[in-house]
Structure formats: structure tokens, C-alpha cells
Amino acid sequence: MTPPAIMSNNSTEDKPKNAAFRVGLGDITPNNLGQLKRLNTVLFPVVYTASFYKNVLDVGEFAKIIYFNDVCVGAVCCRTEVVEKSSAQNLYIATLGVLAPYRRLGLGSKMLKHIVDHAELSTTPSIAKIYLHVQEDNEEALEFYKKHGFEVTEKCENYYPQFDVKDAFKLEKIIS
């Protein structure tokens, strides 16, 4: 089944100025979980476990696939975490990525806006903050999140011990 389409105007220089395209966010379901797994294999150097994908099916609006002209081109997956001595939760963005040919079309921003909007609306329990980790040399991702109101709060040494670039920055956005 095709996700609902939203008409947008493409503002990139390599496309006609008024070219219309369809963009839609879709739920992650058992039927399209294979698409998510394939995307993550292409987008990220990490192999995610079966429990990761099981949890993705349980977070509702905090996990989405994005479609561009009915083609699955990106996804965002989050998890909620209990905050000790509080009735609030934190939201961790585990993955957010768009295939390279579809970047700079606003698709990542659309997914992030969806996550932030739903975090702000969350009431039982409320979401206190959204956070994530980015490899310290990933300047494109750092600028993307900063542009969307996230702040670097910590440098995490040896966060990615399996990679050449081992250190990461923790970025946060306070919600409530």
C-alpha cells in the first residue's frame, strides 16, 4: 500500500524550480521491516540486532520510513527511555538517515520535525529531551542537528570502539 503523499516543491538547484514530487511518511510494520533493514545496511556501518527491529515496531510515531515518489529512501528510528526519579521519558534517536541521492531535499528535516512534534505532544509520559550521538568527524550531521535546535552537550570518548573514528558528540534538544 502506498503511503499518503504530500506535494512539495523541490528547491534544489539540480532540479527544475517548480518540479513537484510526492513525499510521505509511513509507519514501520512487519510488512516493510525488510525495507528498513536494507536501508540501515546501506546508510550505517552498524549491524542492528533483531531486538532493535522488534523495538522499532513498538514505538509508534517515533519510527518512520520516508518515501520520495513512492520509493523508500530513508528512515528514523527512536527509543524511549525512563528518566529516574521522574514521570518523564527521554527519546533517543538511534538512526536517522536518507540515501545519498535524496539528501538536501528536506527529507531528513521532515522526519526530524515529525519526531520533535510528536515528542512535544507526548503527555503520558511526557518527553523531557531528545538526544543522539554523532561521530565527531561527521560535520554534515552535526550541522544538520544544530540547525534544528540541538546542542552539543558532551564529547564521548571511545563511544564507537569498532570504528576508526571512535569519539562521538552527544547532542540534545530539551522538550519540556
Query: pLDDT (tens digit, 9 = 90+) per residue, 9-68?
Result: 333 333 444 468 899 999 999 999 999 999 999 999 889 999 999 999 999 999 999 999
Q: Which of 102, 131, 133, 159 is catalytic?
A: 133
No. of helices (H) and no. of strands (E), the chain: 4, 8
CATH topology of domain 6-174: Aminopeptidase (3.40.630)
Write the DSSP symbol of residue 138.
-
Q: Is 114 labeled as catalytic in the residue annotation?
A: no
Q: Where are the domains of the chain?
A: 6-174
Q: Which of 48, 92, 118, 160 is catalytic?
A: 92
Radius of gyration of the chain (CA): 16
Burial class (CB in 10 A: 0-12, 13-18, 19+), 31: exposed
Q: Which residue has the cell 500500500?
A: 1
User: Global pTM?
Assistant: 0.86
Residue 97 cell numbers, joined: 538517515
